């Protein structure tokens, strides 16, 4: 079949959504289909929020099937449309009136929320079936729109290259250095565990503030800001770390979790980290904390003090993540689009 994989693109940004789209196109091609990625720019501000959905509505989509991924790509028109929902416009739903969003509780914002919900209901209602990235995305869609959907998990990038290795004395966190990813928790973990080093891989708007915070906390000599790292470096850091600290705010999925597991490493997270909790079971594949300095510090201390327990939790995570495969994902999406 000819399959169009549709996704939104925030210009000059690249992250998990872009990787997922590219990987899905690759896997469709490997299954014998002709697949094409279709991207349109998106704006998140409420004054421009409806521009991109309107653009998607007007596109001629000459394909046998379309698979739409994230807001607002699911506004695309096609008789054979399946949705694999990464997320809606969270700023108008669960993050409304949050500092990260310009959609508040004023009259204009409430009108935007109402209109967007109505538009989402119509566009998503056109899909023959809706899958989601994770249980947390399914829960949000049911809670805010009353729409049922089904989680469809998939392997993370580098799944075929990640491997276990002997644990060294550093905690690892690869992420964007932005507020919702909470990279400052690495500093808190190191402050309470003087025998542990930390490696932060990634870039973002909070880097300067984090460096200053590390200096004030007295951990700058134990915290490496690695910046952008290549795939080979990423695989190596996962293999050598003691464990992975990954406690973002209400994450949609969290590739870092599954990458850590495939490298045989336990994950320290927080009880409000969203999709991460689909995978991390407290005491089995890592530690689920309350997200406080004390909770994070205590969990990291246990990893450092009980290496055999940490290794066993990492292996349990590896067994769990190893069950994921692209074949069932491709089959489910195409069956949903064309049934």
Rounded average pLDDT over 182-190: 96
Report pLDDT digits (tens) over 118-151.
999 999 999 999 999 999 999 999 999 999 999 9
Q: Across the chain, what does the average pLDDT equal?
A: 95
Rounded average pLDDT over 17-38: 95
Query: Which residue(s) pair with 172 in the sheet?
Result: 199, 244
Residue located via tokens 């590219």:
22
Report pLDDT digits (tens) over 39-61.
999 998 999 999 999 999 999 99
Residue 261: per-residue pLDDT: 98
* Class of domain 170-321 (CATH, top level): alpha beta
DSSP-based three-state secondary structure for 238:
helix
Domain boundaries, the chain: 2-154+325-338, 170-321
From the list 332, 331, 337, the residue with the least C-alpha distance to 65 is 337
In 3-state terms the chain splits into helix, strand, coil percentages (rounded to 5) of 45, 20, 40
Rounded average pLDDT over 183-208: 95
From the list 202, 175, 204, 200, the residue with the least C-alpha distance to 188 is 200
Residue 11 has pLDDT above 90, yes or no: no
Rounded average pLDDT over 200-218: 96
Rounded average pLDDT over 98-117: 92
- CATH architecture for the domain at 2-154+325-338: 3-Layer(aba) Sandwich (3.40)
Residue 17 has pLDDT above 90, yes or no: no
| Cβ proximity of 85 and 69 under 8 Å | yes
The model's pTM = 0.91
Residue 245 has pLDDT above 90, yes or no: yes
Residue 16: per-residue pLDDT: 81
Q: How far apart are CA 118 and CA 47, in angstroms?
A: 17
Residue 15: per-residue pLDDT: 80
**2-154+325-338 and 170-321 have identical folds:** yes
Q: How far apart are CA 140 and CA 73, in angstroms?
A: 18
Q: How far apart are CA 18 and CA 27, in angstroms?
A: 14
């Amino acid at each position: 079949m000819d399959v169009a994989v549709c996704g939104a693109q925030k210009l000059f940004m690249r992250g998990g959504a872009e990787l997922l789209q590219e990987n899905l196109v690759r896997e469709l091609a490997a299954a014998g289909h002709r697949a094409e990625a279709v991207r349109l720019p998106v704006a998140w501000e409420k004054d421009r929020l409806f521009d991109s959905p309107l653009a998607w509505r007007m596109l001629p989509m000459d394909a046998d099937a379309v698979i739409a991924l994230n807001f607002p790509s699911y506004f695309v028109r096609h008789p054979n449309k399946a949705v694999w929902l990464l997320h809606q416009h969270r700023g108008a739903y669960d993050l409304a009136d949050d500092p990260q969003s310009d959609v508040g509780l004023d009259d204009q914002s409430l009108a935007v929320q109402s209109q967007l919900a109505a538009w989402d209901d119509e566009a998503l209602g056109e899909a023959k079936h809706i899958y989601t990235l994770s249980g947390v995305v399914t829960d949000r869609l049911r809670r805010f729109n009353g729409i049922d959907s089904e989680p469809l998990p998939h392997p993370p990038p580098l799944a075929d290259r990640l491997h276990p290795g002997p644990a060294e004395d550093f905690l690892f966190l690869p992420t964007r250095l932005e507020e919702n990813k909470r990279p400052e928790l690495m500093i808190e973990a190191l402050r309470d565990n003087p025998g542990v080093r930390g490696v932060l891989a990634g870039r973002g708007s909070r880097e300067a503030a984090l460096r200053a915070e590390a200096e004030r906390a007295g951990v700058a000599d134990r915290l490496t800001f690695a910046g952008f790292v290549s795939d080979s470096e990423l695989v190596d850091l996962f293999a050598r770390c003691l464990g992975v600290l990954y406690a973002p705010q209400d994450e949609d999925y969290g590739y870092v979790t599954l990458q850590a597991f495939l490298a045989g490493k336990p994950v320290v997270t927080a009880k409000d980290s969203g999709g991460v909790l689909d995978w991390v079971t407290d005491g089995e594949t890592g530690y689920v904390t309350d997200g406080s300095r004390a909770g994070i510090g205590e969990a990291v201390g246990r990893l450092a003090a009980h290496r055999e327990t940490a290794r066993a939790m990492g292996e349990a995570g590896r067994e769990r993540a190893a069950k994921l495969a692209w074949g069932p994902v491709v089959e489910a999406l195409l069956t949903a689009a064309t049934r």
